[in-house]
Amino acid sequence: MESRAFDRRRWRQLPVALGLLAPSAIILGAFIVYPIVKSVFLGTERCNASGTRCVEGGWDQYTDTFRSTEFQHALWVTAKFALITVPLGLALGIGLAVLAHKHLAGVSVFRAIFSSTVATSVAVASLMWLFLLQPSVGVLSNVGWIADAFPVVKQPGLLNDPDTALWSVGLSSVWANLGFTFIIITAGLQGIPDDVYEAAALDGAGGSRRFWAITLPLLGPSLLFVLIVLTSRAFQAYGEIDLLTEGGPRPDDSTTTITYLTYGRNSIMATDLGLQATTAVLLFVVLLGLSFLQLWSLGRRVHYGD
Amino acid sequence: MRRAALPALVVAASLLVAACGSGESAITAGQDDPADTDADNDAVATDDADASTPDSTPDDAGDETDGTSPTDSGDETDGGDETTASTPDTTPTEVSLDEYPACPTDALDGADGPVEITYWHGMTADNEEALQFVTEQYNASQDRVVVELQNQGGYLEVIDKYYQSGASGRPDLVMFPEYGFQQAIDSETIVPVEACVRDAGFDTAVIQPSAIQAYSTAGVQWGMPFNVSNPILYYNELIFEAAGLDPDQPPTTFDELRAMSQQIVDSGAASYGIALDTNIDSGGGWFIEQWFANAGELFVDNGNGREALPTEVLFDQATGVEIVTFLRDMVADGLAVNVGDNAGGSDNFLKMADAADPAAMTIGTSAGLGTVINVLGSGLVEGLTPDDVGVGGLPGPSAEQTAIVGGAANYVVAGDDPEVVAAAWDFLTYLISPEVQSEWAVRTGYLPIVDQAIELEPLATTYANDPRFRVAYTQLANSPNDLAHAGPQIGPHRQVRDETAAALAAIYNGADIESTLAAAAATSNALLQQYIALNG
């Protein structure tokens, strides 16, 4: 009885609920849902650059594109990019956050420094790395012992060598994302009550034991969040690639990720709006699957507190 | 368990992906039967051969020299003469413009008050300031038109934004680079400048013919050239002297370039003769097109794409092999250094400033001359002053130094309001007036497209005081007015350049020249066919 009355009351509130939801629903619908649906259908067509003339390609355009050499290569590059940037970014972020979490005089200065890359745009960060890595006049190549120990810095240059280009771009990306990771993990650390550590210390747990048994597990939610965000960012990286390598070095296109294949200025699909939509939707599907996978495999193990 | 799960999944996913690969290019994605596409597209291509150019039936046999064109001598090496013979008739009354938007140039007379127009451009830094200067002068000089400049950040940004905008979002006047020409026509949003020229009775004979031809196809001029540049040779005069070379005699041909590089390297004056690159807007694409023109050869079929949409690239034939072999040998023999993709376009210049392993020369756009002089003037490069940099024409396969028009043109955007179209045309005529071209060339390093400008101040003084600025102008003025020097007109122009750039990079790394060029040509041809299918 009681629950039915509750139901009826709830239905009566429907108009109010819809009215309250309307602003965000309309905005979401117009700017998120509609473009996604439109892109999905655009992805079945081949179009000219302005999208005014399209030829129906059919749904197999998705499978054809997914299986094409260009997309397979880009997917592989993207996966490598994520495997470079995500673990490295996580490890460095945790390390710095734990270091800066000590209650020491002047530690706030270091916190400000470590989080400063959050305020640095991709363009500025990439240009800075370009000046560091440029083979002729760059800083690294003009430090004598570095140039001697690693000739690749000088010729052809870290960004021009197919073996080091992706790592170099990845490094700049890690650096640029470090501030974000640092801030989230610092916030997570501050949420861990000190008495847990004190109890552990009384039981005789040493520093590294406390880190592995308390800090990491209790950071779970923050880590999961950072992991998913960093993975998405790695899959969507564009600015640093465009500024540092333009998807090169040729002919291997060692840094042509899926985003660069889609939007890149020199991409084979740059004049075809339909094909660009195809790869964009494929990227969306890949990322969606990956996020579910991460939530599913790690989410169950994360401890959200009581 | 936790540590094993994710890597295991990643491995499983990558195995799955690897098993999925079809080994085919995305160019044909969505086309049901790849085996049929050739036949289909040839049919489209044949339909596309414009009625106004009856002799341009594409040759299905795939052999340019067997073309059915009556002017075709059947001899590939005669390309230069042949193309001169088939230069389209420039008499404007030949071609009907009825199917295109009109350009009522006298509509301004009926306007009440000033007409405001927006102009999207891609000029930055010094070039943007120069454009602002001449535009402000225009706005102040008359009260019928007000031009609002909107800087989009670069050529590519202009192109991206323009094609993603609806009719209401487009500007009234837009600047596209030379590789955006075919796409501009196919956007069906442009008023051909030819319509304005005829309506106003404007005399285009004052403009450099090659600049007009670069933006004309099948007898219709679509864009009005404005900022014109071409590639030139930059060299370090100090190294030339140290090597025992005359610093006033830069190499003018490939053979001289090789000989002088040899002398520079042998003498120890520098580590390399010249810095080359594989950027699509320089060594990997644009320069290759320039060298084709210099050899008097077409880069694509259908009269370099000037008679109908091109169906086939020609860079894998004898001329392309010769040019690429020359470049490859230079690098392989240690006379040149390949600086790679040159993202941002400065790595080749910076190689000249390399303290440990410098190159004595490089090739770059003439539009960069002002920047080079400014940078050196600021003392950024130790031991190299602005006066130490010499400038020469582009060395190439031919003894004559010639070039294709590079840079950008302005296009009148079609709209409902005749007053706006007329206002855009009025501003266009101002931009190419000798006075403005003289001012513009001095402030930027672009070359004037009206001859009269070089006799006017401030350009006359600049050319007299610093002949380096004149090199690009002389080079263009020397260029014959033929289809080879009109330059290739290609829809997917950047994509084709990307193919040549990737091929060149592979060849520098040791790949076989002929088969690599052939593969790049095959991909390019697929791109051309795809473009025809979507735009033809």
Confidence of residue B76 (pLDDT cuts 50, 70, 90): very low
B358: left (phi over 0), alpha (psi -120 to 50) or beta: beta
CB contact under 8 A, A135 and B280: no
Q: Which residues contact A128 (CB under 8 A, 6 or more apart)?
A: none
Using CB atoms, pick whichever of B20, B338, B531 lies closest to residue A67. Answer: B20
Averaged pLDDT for residues B302-324: 93
pLDDT above 90 as % of chain A: 30
Confidence of residue B300 (pLDDT cuts 50, 70, 90): very high
Using CB atoms, pick whichever of A57, A245, A250 lies closest to residue B505. Answer: A250
Residue B182, pLDDT score: 92
Are the CB atoms for B283 and B310 separated by under 8 Å?
Answer: no
CB contact under 8 A, B32 and A58: yes
- Indicate if the pLDDT at residue B226 is higher than 80: yes
- Indicate if the pLDDT at residue B433 is higher than 60: yes
CA–CA distances in Å: residue B286 to residues A109, B178, B448:
50, 10, 21
Averaged pLDDT for residues A209-233: 88
CB contact under 8 A, A269 and B354: no
Residue A194, pLDDT score: 85
CA B18 centroid distance within chain? 38
Using CB atoms, pick whichever of A49, A136, A293 lies closest to residue B350. Answer: A136
CB contact under 8 A, B6 and A156: no
CB contact under 8 A, B503 and A147: no
Residue B148, SS3 per DSSP: strand
- Indicate if the pLDDT at residue B82 is higher than 80: no
Averaged pLDDT for residues A93-115: 84
Using CB atoms, pick whichever of B159, B188, B491 lies closest to residue A52. Answer: B188
A95: left (phi over 0), alpha (psi -120 to 50) or beta: alpha
Highest mean pLDDT among A101-110, A135-144, A280-289, B158-167: A280-289
Which residues in A lie closer than 8 A to residue B164 (C-beta atoms)? 50
Residue B495, SS3 per DSSP: helix
- Indicate if the pLDDT at residue B495 is higher than 60: yes
Confidence of residue B10 (pLDDT cuts 50, 70, 90): low
> By mean pLDDT, which of A279-293, B18-32, B510-524 is the weakest?
B18-32
Using CB atoms, pick whichever of B21, B163, B356 lies closest to residue A67. Answer: B21
CB contact under 8 A, A268 and B491: no
pLDDT in tens, B27-65: 777 765 444 333 333 333 333 333 333 343 334 433 433
CA distance B424 to chain A (A): 22
CB contact under 8 A, A64 and B28: yes
User: How many CB contacts within 8 angstroms connect chain A with chain B?
Assistant: 187
- Indicate if the pLDDT at residue B14 is higher than 80: no
Query: For residue B21, what is the nearest residue in chain A, using CA coordinates?
Result: A67
Which residues in B lie closer than 8 A to residue A298 (C-beta atoms)? 2, 6
Confidence of residue B15 (pLDDT cuts 50, 70, 90): low
Residue B135, SS3 per DSSP: helix
Angstrom distance (rounded) from CA A71 to CA A65: 6
Which residues in B lie closer than 8 A to residue A281 (C-beta atoms)? none
DSSP A167-228: HHHHHHHHHHHHHHHHHHHHHHHHTS-HHHHHHHHHTT--HHHHIIIIIHHHTHHHHHHHHH
Residue B68, pLDDT score: 38
Q: Is B52 exposed, middle or buried (0-12, 13-18, 19+ CB in 10 A)?
A: middle
Are the CB atoms for B395 and B257 separated by under 8 Å?
Answer: yes
**A54-56 vs A45-47, strand pairing mode:** antiparallel
B154: left (phi over 0), alpha (psi -120 to 50) or beta: left
- Indicate if the pLDDT at residue B134 is higher than 60: yes
Residue B496, pLDDT score: 93
CA distance A3 to chain B (A): 42
pLDDT in tens, B276-296: 999 988 999 999 999 999 999
CA B196 centroid distance within chain? 24
CB contact under 8 A, A160 and B14: no
Averaged pLDDT for residues B363-376: 87
pTM of the prediction? 0.82
Which residues in A lie closer than 8 A to residue B31 (C-beta atoms)? 46, 57, 64
Question: Rounded mean pLDDT of chain B?
Answer: 83
Best of B33, B158, B341, B507 to disrupt the A interface (most A CBs within 10 Å) is B341
Angstrom distance (rounded) from CA A137 to CA A140: 9
Query: Hey, what amino acid is at A254?
Result: S
Residue B55, SS3 per DSSP: coil
- Indicate if the pLDDT at residue A19 is higher than 80: yes
Averaged pLDDT for residues B340-357: 86
Question: Rounded mean pLDDT of chain A?
Answer: 86
CB contact under 8 A, B509 and A297: no
For the beta carbon of residue B260, count every other beta carbon within 10 angstroms.
Answer: 24
Averaged pLDDT for residues B132-141: 93
| Fold annotation for A68-299 | MetI-like fold (1.10.3720)
Averaged pLDDT for residues B249-267: 94
Residue B257, pLDDT score: 95
Instruction: Look at residues B105, B524, B69, B445 and name the one whose alpha carbon lies nearest to residue B280.
Output: B524
Q: Which domains does chain B have, with CATH numbers?
A: 92-228+406-485 (3.40.190.10), 231-402+492-522 (3.40.190.10)
Query: For residue A50, what is the nearest residue in chain B, using CA coordinates?
Result: B163
Residue A184, pLDDT score: 93
Locate the DSSP E strands across A52-207: 54-56
Residue B154, pLDDT score: 86
| Top-confidence residue, B304 or A294 | B304
pLDDT above 70 as % of chain A: 97
- Indicate if the pLDDT at residue B90 is higher than 50: no
Which residues in B lie closer than 8 A to residue A266 (C-beta atoms)? 280, 494-495, 497-498, 501
Tokens of B35: 């085996």
Residue B6, pLDDT score: 56
Asked if the interface predicted TM-score (ipTM) of this complex is over 0.85, the answer is no
Query: For residue B281, what is the nearest residue in chain A, using CA coordinates?
Result: A266
- Indicate if the pLDDT at residue A306 is higher than 60: no
Best of B347, B352, B499, B529 to disrupt the A interface (most A CBs within 10 Å) is B347
CB contact under 8 A, A268 and B495: yes
Query: For residue A53, what is the nearest residue in chain B, using CA coordinates?
Result: B534
| Top-confidence residue, B15 or B202 | B202
